[in-house]
Structure 1
């Protein structure tokens, strides 16, 4: 992928701005440009948000599949604020978060200290190069992240995920369904915030790469946001 460093920087800055706005009580998704509010798919987008379907990080299916346990180490790649808003702070496993946004990691550290949470590490950096040892994690997730990247970088991310997971461990990730009804609108939303969707593969093309590293236990389409969620087992 060309200009990956500048693209990573743009994503980090976008999420930094979102955190800064959030600290001032402003939700970016509540303040979309007028041209998006006039889009025919805006009503569907709002309905999904009202019903809690706009984010798939907090789905009960994730926790049920990963089965977090007291002695398990859980890595949340591209973690955003899952620890705060999607119930991950209630999991018995030890939480490790990785995010490219410095403001996100700063806020998570404040939250974990205030709540006195047992956190393994909160690391600011790209998910294709993490500071963890080989075969370190028991379970993990990467939700709402891969849509920002092209094929070559996505493969690098999958290689890194495979490296830091234990053999046969469980992992959940998602990708955009480029043929989905809401994909175009969701991309417009993200582009308006400075982080356009760069994902350049069909589901079939992505799965060709995925099979090198993981077995698919199941997959589910999240039609409200045109995403496909994969429930995986790491190959040895």
Structure 2
């Protein structure tokens, strides 16, 4: 597991370093990916991102809420989380990502709660600290044992009846294949090895599933959850 986390951290660190130089790796994909007939439809989903209204509607962020972004990447910069009234907390395995977010918050005077370079399965927060949370575009990198630990950790830090949104890859979706090709090309291949039913069994001990969103044009299956204690 430690090797896996190190690989992911290094891959995202490289992406950040190149991004600072104006190099966007997603714009330099090989032709075997960009010429794939499913690629351009995949792009429509990728540009939508995690700021979709349904996530906001479910989490219903308010001023006095603490929000945890698990595996935050650059969501604070590009997915609208900096505009939410809730207090933002982010964790990510990439130290370069956290550094860039710290620069962003300082430069733009964005008030947040905290940023931590750590794994989603072992966070520095107290029990029942968060009202709402999200884990978007993260779990696909891991196998079942780690996913189970991450779900248990989310359950620990989210308040009773608190809300969480997360997603997993829809392996049967052709656009998921494109996503996996891209991630493998970037040096962080997806390792998710759980069927939706198996994943839902993991959830049942910790969260109530309020809704499952599965869309034909979306490579991910999104879960809207409420924390059970």
Normalised to the residue count of structure 1, the TM-score between the two structures is 0.93
Q: How does 1:84-123 map to 2 (within 5 A)?
A: 84-123=77-116
Structure-2 separation of matches of 1:11 and 1:225: 23
Deviation at 1:213, TM superposition (A): 0.5
Runs of 4+ aligned residues of structure 1 deviating over 6 Å after TM superposition are none
Counterpart residue number, 2:166:
173
SS of residue in 2 equivalent to 1:119: coil
Distance 1:191 1:106, change over 3 A: same
Deviation at 1:197, TM superposition (A): 0.7
Asked if the contact 1:186/1:225 (under 8 Å) is kept, the reply is no
After superposition, the CA RMSD in angstroms is: 1.2
1:143 maps onto 2:140 in alignment: no
Gaps spanning 5+ residues in structure 1: where? none
Gaps spanning 5+ residues in structure 2: where? none
Question: 200, 204, 208: which one pairs with 1:215?
Answer: 208
Deviation at 1:47, TM superposition (A): 4.2
Deviation at 1:181, TM superposition (A): 1.8
Q: How does 1:11-160 map to 2 (within 5 A)?
A: 11-49=8-46, 52-53=47-48, 55=49, 57-160=50-153
SS of residue in 2 equivalent to 1:20: helix
Asked if the contact 1:66/1:170 (under 8 Å) is kept, the reply is yes
Distance 1:10 1:225, change over 3 A: farther
